[in-house]
A and B are shown apart, each in its own frame.
Chain A
Amino acid sequence: DAGVIQSPRHEVTEMGQEVTLRCKPISGHNSLFWYRQTMMRGLELLIYFNNNVPIDDSGMPEDRFSAKMPNASFSTLKIQPSEPRDSAVYFCASSSRDSPNYGYTFGSGTRLTVV
């Protein structure tokens, strides 16, 4: 298995532009999570999906952030409009509730820089 695949690895955009981050979870995993990591706030859970359905989006900072999971193999996190304070590394992770260890597998992350 190729693991959790995120794209792009790096994104530099200007303030006000729309940014879309993409994630392909591990095949067979039925839970997907979006995290944001910064020095100040550490790893923050933004939203998670079970069986493609958003369950808890209380971590999404503002209405500028939205996430979708149209099918079991793809999810997007969109920021519109982007702001400099959104600069961070965004991680996607997936897991299977059927797995004996419930561990999460993380992607390599997308480093977003908003200038």
Chain B
Amino acid sequence: GENVEQHPSTLSVQEGDSAVIKCTYSDSASNYFPWYKQELGKGPQLIIDIRSNVGEKKDQRIAVTLNKTAKHFSLHITETQPEDSAVYFCAGRHIMRFGAGTRLTVKP
């Protein structure tokens, strides 16, 4: 099956700084690359995704970039706020298997 790996496992930033989380995948046939955010006591929620025919997608303060050659995609959060603190997951497309998650802490 497909392997999905995330880095780092934990990330701590100051409010206002940027945060970047990277996900590598093994299946070269993957064509859909989502990021999910999980807040305490809730289920994961899709926050942004990208398809393999584009290299970057932005939605306000978050963006996802894709490098199909290197088989990785990254989540970028700019101007971080305390409410961005959560666990973030990337997923492999083929029957979504999730990475181990990155715990982001934004310090006020």
Binding site for B on A (CB under 8 A): 4, 33, 42-43, 45, 48, 55-56, 91, 93, 101-109
A45 to B45, CA, bound (A): 16
Complex contacts, B108 vs chain A, CB 8 Å: none
Contact (Cβ within 8 A) A45 B97: yes
Complex contacts, A104 vs chain B, CB 8 Å: 34, 44, 46, 96
Main SS at interface, chain B: loop
Q: Whole-angstrom distance from the CB of B52 to the nearest CB of chain A?
A: 12
Q: How large is the interface on B (under 10, 10 to 19, 20 to 34, 35 or more residues)?
A: 10 to 19
What are the nearest 7 A-B pairs in CB distance? A106-B43, A103-B46, A43-B98, A42-B100, A106-B44, A91-B43, A109-B43
Query: Which of B32, B49, B89 meets A43, CB within 8 Å?
Result: B89
- From A42, A43, A55, A109, residue with most partner B Cβ within 10 Å: A43
Complex contacts, A103 vs chain B, CB 8 Å: 34, 46, 49
Contact (Cβ within 8 A) B95 A108: no
A56 to B99, CA, bound (A): 19
Q: Assuming A42-B99, A91-B43, A107-B43, what are 15 further A-B pairs, CB within 8 angstroms?
A: A33-B96, A43-B44, A43-B98, A48-B95, A91-B44, A102-B34, A102-B93, A103-B34, A103-B46, A104-B34, A104-B96, A106-B45, A108-B41, A108-B43, A109-B42
Q: Chain B 54-89 against A: per-residue CB contact (8 Å), 1 yes, 0 no? A: 000000000000000000000000000000000001
Query: Which of A91, A105, A108, A109 meets B46, CB within 8 Å?
Result: A105
Q: Whole-angstrom distance from the CB of A5 to the nearest CB of chain B?
A: 11
Binding site for A on B (CB under 8 A): 32, 34, 41-46, 49, 89, 93, 95-101
Q: Whole-angstrom distance from the CB of B72 to the nearest CB of chain A?
A: 19
Complex contacts, A102 vs chain B, CB 8 Å: 32, 34, 49, 93
Contact (Cβ within 8 A) B96 A45: yes
13 A–B contacts from the bound complex (CB under 8 Å): A4-B43, A42-B101, A48-B95, A93-B43, A102-B32, A102-B93, A103-B46, A104-B44, A104-B96, A105-B46, A106-B43, A108-B42, A109-B42
